[in-house]
Structure 1
Amino acid sequence: MNYQKKTVVASVAGLTLEGMDIMFISFAMSMIIAEFHIDLATGGLISSITNLGMLFGGMIFGILADKFGRVRVFTYTILLFAIGTALTGLATNIEQVYIFRFIAGLGAGGEYGIGMALVAEAWPKNKQGRASSYVSVGAQFGVILAALLSAILLPTWGWRGLFFVGIIPVIFAFIVRKNLDESPEWLTSKKGNHLVAKQGKLKQLFATRRTALTTIALAIMATVQIAGYNGLMIWLPSMLQQSQGLSVSSSALWTISTAVGMIAGMLTFGQFMDRLGMKRTYGLFLLASAVAVFLYSYASGSTGVLIGGAIVGFFSNGMFAGYGALISYYYPVEIRSTATNTIFNFGRALGGLSPILVGFILQHATVTIAMGYLAILYCISFMAMISLRKGQVKVKQETITSLTKAV
């Protein structure tokens, strides 16, 4: 297996395990609430704290990966979310659950951007879109794996047994460390100018006016991506149960249909990205998402709901496939991992609050208004996207000069 394929396999496996870890909470939530005698709001904080851990983990490990190497830090992030997941199964109160989920979030948040940076640095520009899409599908594999393990383990081992499975990624981390070489581009950068290669500071994301505008635009896009996904996947099943009279089993069928649409959308997006370019592909999918989401509020009948869900999933989550390549494109190797992790995990943390607003809208307005809100989000992301300029941003030269003088 060549190096390019190894980076994809390692990153796919990492994102699959991360997706599995995150979904364990969804499947185990009712049991955790019952055992610790907590209300729904207190239980909901588990996901919020996990997202907060992802934001901090993304920033910390992104910087470390730019300083000390992709593969080494990548394995550390896998170990951390494996340990955090396994410890969750030992929690004796909800406070301990919060702590252990924050630890797992730290590792999960660091893993995403480093894996994407590895892929971006291993594949040529004209194939980065499809390579990024292959990695992104791993998250959906994780959801499926979590569902299968939950069906098998929850009835017999309970929710604690489910989280003990989270120790398995430790084995994967060992395999990655043994078989995957460091990024050649990072090594070249380190040899060429070790001061730049080891810099990796958050302030570099705002070092110049153009860099700051690029960072803000990409953060808006990442936030909308997560907000749209969470708003749709958390609330749509219950919306459809009320508006269309769907049963729980029919809602599950809708979830599968939408997930299939998402996977197809990701794979298609990667191909389009390499052929049409990043901005054209994002423009097409963002506008299509806005239209599809809004029109979906008028869908009726089981066939229309299922087909419409697949179409919405195709466009709205198909774009997830491109963020690794998109963010990597705009930042040089010296700050690539820092940028990818920080920007996307900021989107995770802020966009993860979207279900609260969607729930508020549904409580006081109609489904059409809620879907209109999501459509507007995609339009905002479109405007942020067209503000992006071609070419990588530059590391601020005066910062490098000052470091040189200090040495």
Structure 2
Amino acid sequence: MANGSAEAVIGERDYRIPQRIERLPMTSVQRWISLVIVIAVFFDAVDMGAMSYLLPSLRDYFGLTAATAGLLSSMSMAGMLVGSFLAGRLADKMGRKALLQYSMIIWGLGGILCALSWSVASLIVFRFLIGLGLGAEYPVANAMISEFLPTKVRGRWLTVMEGLAPIGVIFAGLLAWIFVPIIGWRWVFVFEAVPAIWIFFVRRNLPESPRWLESVGREEEAHAIAAELEHKVQKVTGSELPPIPEVTYVSQKGIRAKFGDLWVGRYVKRTVGMAIVWPLALLGYWGIQSWITALLASSGYTIQKSMAYALLIQLGGIPGFLVTTYLIDKVGRKATLIIGLLGSAVMAYLYGNAPNLTLLIVFGLLLQYFFWTLWPALYAFTPEVYPTRLRATGTGFVMSMGRLGAILGPYVAGLILGKDYVQGPVFIMALVAFVIAALAVLLLVPETKGKVLEEVAA
């Protein structure tokens, strides 16, 4: 390999793809691949965050009751349930890259249609369509990041991907705060659909996952992509690559992914644990998050001031995910996730019982801090507990179960609020959900810190 050519690298075909990926030092080559995926997910976060800010305007425009407003907020989650479940299965059969592109087309189209909606019913349908695309994108993006990166940086990049979500939510708030008073809520949906053009960058710059290709027996393609990555990394570093490490490898060749495999052997506890954590965490999160601006408006603040306060509160998420990028590889995925869940439980209660605006903002900032400790840790953790052949299927399934909680959260919160907007029980609901989720993580899900994906599967 002294000449650094792709042909020389291909000479190492006797090694498995995980070994070839694990030995690569982190360079601009992997960072660019990761960035293409991360930016696509960031645009998702902008779109998902929009409803928290637009709900008061939509409520006034369409004359919505609290229950109907909650149903509207839940529809994108319903779409995500279907999208994440179907995409997980399809991505394990058809490949990661194609599904990522299809998902972007769907949510971009959904955003444009939301801007053109003519009734509550049409808006509900189009929000479902957006959710379908967003739900398809998340498990595929998580699987791709997990499969392209070596163990030593995998957790950090998965955390960064999900950690950009609070910035996306803040960006959505800025769009709503600036443009709703000037040109109305419809244009906010248009602005949020435009980034779907990022699909062209995905198509040109993102290779298929070599780990997935190897798992379905397409070894020629897998090793060709691995060789190209090695050649590019060697060119960037200007030196020979490190020795190929020994990796505990569980052969996946010729084994077709089946949904039933999630419920066999060591994967039963993992699947049950994650299928408890995801819906409860999303129930608590969206039960609060989707109503933040509307609850402020119901307390007597103008819609413009409510948006501003909600936007301020979201800033707490930025230090949350920054700290998590450090914690996740130091104390582990499991401990970080439990800290996020229990911190969210405590802050949900304090936020819901804040006696004045100052404490409301302080507790709101801390609530967002723990929200964005919780979410990056959970998104990094989930794909790591499954082998390559089941990664998108398993991740898609537990995320789709999570969408049940996300659907119920805003709707149940709306029912609890009723005509008088009685807020206290909503935050008690969130507290209980977060505590039970933390117990499920503690008792059912294994730690994956510092382990190669194939070692976790072994």
Letter in 1 for 2:315: V
Residue of structure 1 in register with 2:159 after alignment: 133
Normalising by structure 2, we get a TM-score of 0.74
Q: Report the equivalent of 1:401.
A: none
Partner of 1:380: 436
Alignment correspondent of 2:16? none
1:340 matched to 2:395: yes
CA contact (8 A) 1:324 1:340 kept: no
The aligned amino acid for 1:294 is: Y
Secondary structure of the 1:67 match is: helix
How far 1:250 moved relative to its partner? 6.3
Unaligned runs of 5+ in 2: 1-26, 220-251
Residue 204 of structure 2 corresponds to 178
CA distance in 2, matches of 1:356, 1:95: 16
- Cα distance in structure 2, aligned partners of 1:158 and 1:248: 13
What are the superposed Cα offsets for residues 14-35 of structure 1, whole Å, 9 maximum, x if unpaired?
2222122234445555665666
- 1:274 is aligned to 329
Q: C-alpha offsets along residues 303-349 of structure 1, whole Å, 9 cap, x if unaligned?
A: 43322222222123321011222111110111211222221232133
Q: Helix, strand or coil for the counterpart of 1:168?
A: helix
1:404 aligns with none
C-alpha separation between the residues in 2 aligned to 1:290 and 1:38?
A: 29
Following the alignment from structure 1 to structure 2, what is the Cα–Cα distance between the partners of residues 217 and 63? 20
Q: How does 1:293-304 map to 2 (within 5 A)?
A: 293-297=348-352, 299-304=354-359
Equivalent-residue separation in structure 1 for 2:414 and 2:123 (angstroms): 25
Within the candidate set 150, 155, 175, 2:176 is matched to: 150
Task: Indicate which of 285, 290, 297 corresponds to 2:345.
Answer: 290
CA RMSD of aligned residues (A): 3.4
Which residue pairs with 2:310 in the alignment?
A: 255
Per-residue deviation, 1:301? 4.2
Match of 2:17 in 1: none
SS in 2 for 1:335: helix
Distance 1:76 1:387, change over 3 A: same
Does the CA contact (< 8 Å) of 2:115 and 2:189 recur in 1? yes
Residue 353 (structure 1) aligned to one of 402, 408, 422 = 408
Q: Identify which range, 316-325 or 139-148, moves more after superposition.
A: 139-148
1:65 corresponds to which residue? Answer: 91
Aligned residue for 1:96? 122
CA contact (8 A) 2:173 2:307 kept: no
Kindly tell me: are residues 380 and 90 of structure 1, through their superposed partners in 2, closer, same or farther at Cα, counting changes over 3 Å? same
Alignment-derived partner of residue 71 in structure 2: 45
For residue 320 of structure 1, what is the aligned residue in structure 2? Answer: 375
- State the shift of 1:257 in Å: 4.0
Give the direction of change, closer, same or farther, for the CA distance of 1:94–1:357 in structure 2 (3 Å limit): closer
Q: CA deviation at 1:53?
A: 1.2
Aligned to 1:202: 259
* Residue aligning to 1:75: 101
Distance 1:27 1:365 in 2: 17
Question: Quick one: which amino acid aligns to residue 179 of structure 1?
Answer: N
Partners in 1 of 2:343 and 2:442 — Cα distance?
A: 15
Deviations 1:106-150 (A, max 9, x none): 111011111111111122333333212211133223223323333
Q: Which residue does the alignment assign to 2:249?
A: none
| 8 Å contact from structure 1 (residues 65, 114) kept in 2 | yes
Q: Percent same amino acid at aligned positions?
A: 30
Of Structure 1 and Structure 2, the greater helix share is in 1
Q: Structure 1 pair 136/257, CA: closer, same or farther in 2 (3 Å)? A: same
Q: Does residue 239 of structure 2 align to residue 213 of structure 1? A: no
Shifted more, 335-344 versus 152-161: the winner is 152-161
SS of residue matched to 1:334: helix
TM-score (norm 1): 0.82
Among 281, 287, 297, the alignment partner of 1:225 is 281
Q: Distance between the aligned counterparts of 1:159 and 1:82, measured in 2?
A: 17
Which whole-Å CA distance do the structure 2 matches of 1:33 and 1:242 have between them? 12
Structure 1 stretches of 5 or more lacking a match?
Answer: 397-407
Q: Which has the higher contact order (CA 8 A, sep 6+)?
A: 2
Larger radius of gyration: 2
> What is the match of residue 44 of structure 2?
18
The reply to whether residue 190 of structure 1 matches residue 216 of structure 2 is yes
1:117 aligns with 2:172: no
1:275, CA displacement in angstroms?
A: 0.6
